[in-house]
Amino acid sequence: MRLHQNTIDQVRDRAQILDQFSQENLKKVGYEFASKCPWHDDRRPSLSISPQKNFAYCHVCARGVDAIGWVQDRQGLSFSEAVMNLAGQYNIEVQAADEEDAKKFEEERLERASLFRQREQQQEQFSERIWDSPGLEYLLGRELTAETIEEWGIGFNGNRVMFPLCDPQGRTVGFTGRVLDDSKPKYKNSQNDAIYQKANLVFGLHKARERIMATSQVVITEGQFDVVRLWQEDVRNVIAVSGSSLTRGMIENLVRTTRVTQVVLCFDGDLGGQKAAERAINELQEFALRGELDLRILVMPDTLDPADCAEVFPFLLEEAVSWVEYMFERAVEKIDLTDPYAITTAERGVKRILQILPKGGLREWVQRRAKEVLKAIPDVKPAKVQTQKQIDRCSWAERRAIRLYLMDQGCRPALAEISYTDPRMQQAWKIIEVLEGMGQDRMLRMAFAAVIQKLERDLSDELSSLCNPIKEVARVIEANPVNELEGAMAVLLSECCSSSNPDQDR
């Protein structure tokens, strides 16, 4: 839904940036507060939070946000989602931009409310049925207590034990049913709808979040039963991917909202579990290579899953190995130095690992192990890896460049040759090129604002701040556009952003 400007303005006026910070993370400095900046490796607080200006600004990143921008960035929300989130906090009525959007919003709201009521009723019904069903015998046989069954709202329907699937707020949005006989499929999930999307749901996060934040560690398993059984043994930083593969989006959201620094993948020891682990590593290795996550693998004993080992799981967890060690051992596990084919196969596997590793300790470890096992070190060039901080810094510089291009005609010649790498900024630049081709140079900012209103909602929200920045940012740019230009170009011309600058290598 596109929001009415009155709603956006009310949220900007009433939502206080200071409310978005925990007091323990703030240091009083005169009339303002200081905190560590989340956008760069901040060893001392360089993020200034001004209650008077209702604005947070990092003097190192030259990046500032109001309450909407902060919630949007920290919670991974779209602009509209952040506005509605804050509107709820401050009891501000949400209005749609026009009658069509208002009608659509009301229809969606009613549909979601109806589905939440339906799921709540279903859970109550299923939970009541569990106590007089064969499902209870099954759960008790798997060593769940009655207290745990009740705590997790596990129920029964037909021939299936029903596990409620909850959103991060703890609201039931769907179910996974496990059959008790040999019927197929063994597990069956609810159909996707307005409140449940299988590909986005992480099972158990609503209960695990607090422990994850306290330990900075999360254990990811394959199944709901693993999570529940481990929770019963007070291992409560465990989640599961619910009937889908682990995705980068899931982890990005998890990192953003829980500050987790170590991920332990704990999948079953069978062939299916090994394949699931490999898929997950492919999704997560970028985070590990950038130094954002300590990615570890816990290999379960054959035929056992985490639930089977719940009572000794904390001890098993200590045996989790680095993802690089796991990949290396998998690559060379069938090595036979008397068999040329086996040697070649192992060497190819080791080369694939070295191809993705930059210079550093992990790469040196693989090289040492390769020399021990293969009696030689494959000749592979180190990979070049950007940290997430560098990626974010370059993306932010590209945003500054586009915003300045729209706001200040005098700076446009200096910005015209930039090659944008952020997909959203690429789309913004395409729109600008089309508008300039239509002779809209003098009215470019207004024309851009009109065009993006017709785009898909999330993209429109993302690009709207380029032509309509918050007042404090607009004042800074208008007061000294040359300084804004120099700040953006200094980053774009740096080595980590050289791909954005066609003149860098000339």
What CATH number belongs to 202-319? Answer: 3.40.1360.10
* Residue with token string 């796991």: 326
Burial of 342 from C-beta contacts in 10 A (0-12 / 13-18 / 19+): middle
Q: Which residues pair with 219 in a beta bridge?
A: 238, 264
Give residue 74's pLDDT: 77
Domain 112-195 fold is: DNA primase DNAg catalytic core, N-terminal domain (3.90.980)
Between the CA of residue 103 and those of 108, 318, 364, what are the distances in Å? 9, 54, 60
Query: What is the predicted pLDDT for the residue at 243?
Result: 61
pLDDT value of residue 236: 96
Whole-model pTM: value is: 0.73
Rounded Cα gap, residues 319 and 339, in angstroms? 31
pLDDT of residue 504: 44
Rounded to whole angstroms, the Cα distance separating 172 from 127 reads: 13
CATH level 2 (architecture), domain 5-89: Alpha-Beta Complex (3.90)
Residue 228 token pair: 């529940």
Provide the pLDDT for residue 244.
66
> What span, in angstroms and rounded, lies between the C-alpha atoms of 477 and 263?
41
pLDDT along the chain (506 residues), means of 10: 85 92 86 86 85 88 86 79 90 85 84 95 97 96 96 96 92 95 90 90 91 91 94 96 76 81 86 82 87 90 86 94 93 86 91 92 93 91 79 87 94 90 91 92 91 82 84 86 91 70 43
pLDDT in the model for residue 128: 97
Buried b (16+ CB within 10 A) or exposed e, 431-452: bbeebeeeebeeebbebbbebb
Find, among 445, 446, 448, 462, the residue nearest to 399 by Cα.
462
